[in-house]
A and B are shown apart, each in its own frame.
Chain A
Amino acid sequence: MRITSILGLLLILSACTTVQPWEKDLLAKPSMSLVPSEVDNALDEHIYFSKEASLGGQGVGGGGCGCN
């Protein structure tokens, strides 16, 4: 399973084209950020952390809470 995942990942990455700096106009837009609104994201993460048993994936740390 893990080997398959890693091979799949390498396959995807090997299919990438090298995008030159002058071709990054779209990628540089704020809307193309991985997390376009950190406030929305943090509030959502906090809600789901307090109502579900999973957390993490986007980063480390983030603060504990007595809510879970």
Chain B
Amino acid sequence: MSDQNNIRSKLTLASATLLQLGSISAVDAADNGWDISTAVLLYQENDGRVSAIEPVISGKKELKNGDRISLKAVFDSLTGATPTGATATSAVQTFTNPSGKKSFTTEAGETPLDSTFLDTRVALSGSWETPVIDDYSRVILGGNVSKEFDYASLGVSASFLRDYNSRNTTLSASIGLNSDTISPSGGVPTPFANMRIANSGTNRDGADDSKTITDLMLGVTQVINRRTLMQFNLGLSETSGYMNDPYKIISLVDSTSGLPITPTDSNDLPYLYESRPDSRSRQVFYWKTVYHLTEDVINVSYRYHTDDWGIDSHTVDFHYRYELGDGSYLQPHLRYYTQAAADFFTSSLVDGQPLPEFASSDYRLGEFVTQTIGLKYAMPTGENSEFSVRAELISQVQSDVGTPIGDQLNNELTPDLDSYIIQLGYNFRF
């Protein structure tokens, strides 16, 4: 009898929890303790660029009334150097740091990097899931807040999910609202204004600016058969407000030599602050399939992203969980990402030509391919605990956009980026 009850209980749990968004598993839900996940991520880019340490702790708990709550805290500590957007030239270049009080130089042939890059971020998030209407519907309410020295973000979200077809189909509708405020070091740069030499004024419009993001998403999760689960999501996102990177500049070059010009005002530097549109509409289609082989599991997804900035991208992600037989597993990971450049992406602006409406030389808005290869190993350390380690190599290869002029032919305008991550994780229940 107890066996029957046990099986019935497991089956009920299995069917009730199978189609939840996220990774709450039937096994996890059988206990009312906290399921805690902890991890420390180390991230390092080549050529002395950004390095980061990122500890995370998250917890999930099912309450006695069937509600579920989750909480997460992430800390980011970043140091290193990040590209300013200016191009490498065959001469030494002088820049002013964001505060406008100090200058720094970049050697000939080197990509200009702002080495004062330093940031710490704290992000907290939580969600509460509760049944509504009947046993087949539920609502998930979420909130998140994050703070950096120059950036603050506040967001809320709500999702409605309903099961159909003997809980083999789940339809979901979600909305998310985010309000972000940026307070750049030195103030908000005037778009297309010149960077000034240190201590000669900074061409700033104010102390801070803001943007709002509205996300809508419709989703279907479908049990295809006993071994296959499939998910389709369609997302729409509208962002309005300040979307410039206040620390990014664009080289203003001579139309013949390709070298930065000598501005008329001796306090100006030949670098202009970038200017992006103040609105962005995005559409995303996302498909994922999880397939159970004899023991192993394949988890594969594809995402198509398009927006009115001209950034079309395709992402394919593949995980293969290879069971080692004693609860431990190896999990290779492959990811391929390809992106078209934003319409207003340019490596430099040419002196004497009319300024475009918008321009940015932020390499992240360029055309490139990112390839990731990784491996994770996880092993149980007790009945309800698991240790894991993973390592990934990320390689970003930029394409040249536009036609190089003069000196630009001798320098790398769009340097590639290699980075790696190492992550240690420990999950347990209490």
A interface with B by C-beta (< 8 Å) = 5, 9, 12-13, 15-40, 42-43, 46-48, 51-68
Contact = CB atoms under 8 A, between A and B. Distances in A.
B292 A32 contact: yes
Contacts, number: 239
B17 interface: yes
A54 B305 contact: yes
Contacts of A47: 43, 394, 421
A64 B179 CA distance: 8
B178 interface: yes
Given A54-B284, A57-B284, 15 more contacts: A13-B220, A17-B225, A21-B11, A21-B12, A21-B14, A24-B226, A36-B299, A39-B38, A42-B72, A52-B364, A53-B364, A55-B305, A56-B217, A59-B233, A61-B177
A58 B176 CA distance: 12
Interface in B286-321: 286, 288, 290, 292, 297, 299, 301, 303, 305, 309, 311, 313, 315, 319, 321
B148 A66 contact: yes
Given A24-B14, A34-B221, A34-B288, A57 B303 contact: yes
17 contacts: A21-B14, A24-B14, A24-B226, A27-B226, A28-B10, A29-B292, A31-B321, A33-B23, A34-B21, A34-B290, A52-B339, A54-B284, A54-B305, A54-B315, A60-B157, A61-B177, A64-B151
Interface of B: 10-15, 17-18, 21-28, 37-39, 41, 43, 54, 56, 58, 72, 74, 78, 119, 121, 123, 125, 142, 144-146, 148, 150-151, 153, 155-157, 159, 165-169, 174-178, 180, 182, 213, 215-217, 220-227, 229-233, 235, 237, 245, 282, 284-286, 288, 290, 292, 297, 299, 301, 303, 305, 309, 311, 313, 315, 319, 321, 329, 337, 339, 342, 364-365, 370, 376, 388, 390, 394, 396, 417, 419, 421, 423, 425
Contact of B21 (A21, A28, A48, A59): A59
B121 A16 contact: no
A46 to B, nearest CB: 8
Given A20-B166, A21-B12, A56-B235, A35 B224 contact: no
A58 B18 contact: no
A11 B305 CA distance: 23
B173 to A, nearest CB: 10
Q: Which of A5, A16, A31, A63 gathers the greatest number of chain B CB atoms within 10 Å? A: A63
Going nearest first, the 5 A-B pairs with the smallest beta carbon separation are A60-B176, A66-B151, A64-B153, A57-B286, A28-B14
Given A28-B14, A34-B290, A52-B370, A66 B150 contact: yes
Contacts of B419: 51
B255 to A, nearest CB: 29
Contacts of A9: 220, 232
- Which secondary structure dominates where chain A touches chain B? loop
B15 A32 contact: no
Contacts of B180: 64
B23 A38 contact: yes
B222 A61 contact: no
Contacts of B43: 47
Contact of B178 (A46, A57, A63): A63
A17 B229 CA distance: 12
B37 A38 contact: yes
A62 B155 contact: yes
A36 B233 contact: no
B13 A52 contact: no
A30 B25 contact: yes
Nearest to B245: A68
Contact of A51 (B226, B245, B370): B370
Given A16-B168, A34-B290, A43 B54 contact: yes
Contact of B174 (A21, A39, A60, A66): A60
A54 B297 contact: no
B148 A54 contact: no
A18 B174 contact: no
A48 B14 contact: no
Contacts of B142: 61
Contact of A65 (B153, B233, B303): B153
Given A19-B226, A30-B23, A57-B303, A48 B337 contact: yes
A56 B13 contact: no
A22 B153 contact: no
A59 B218 CA distance: 9
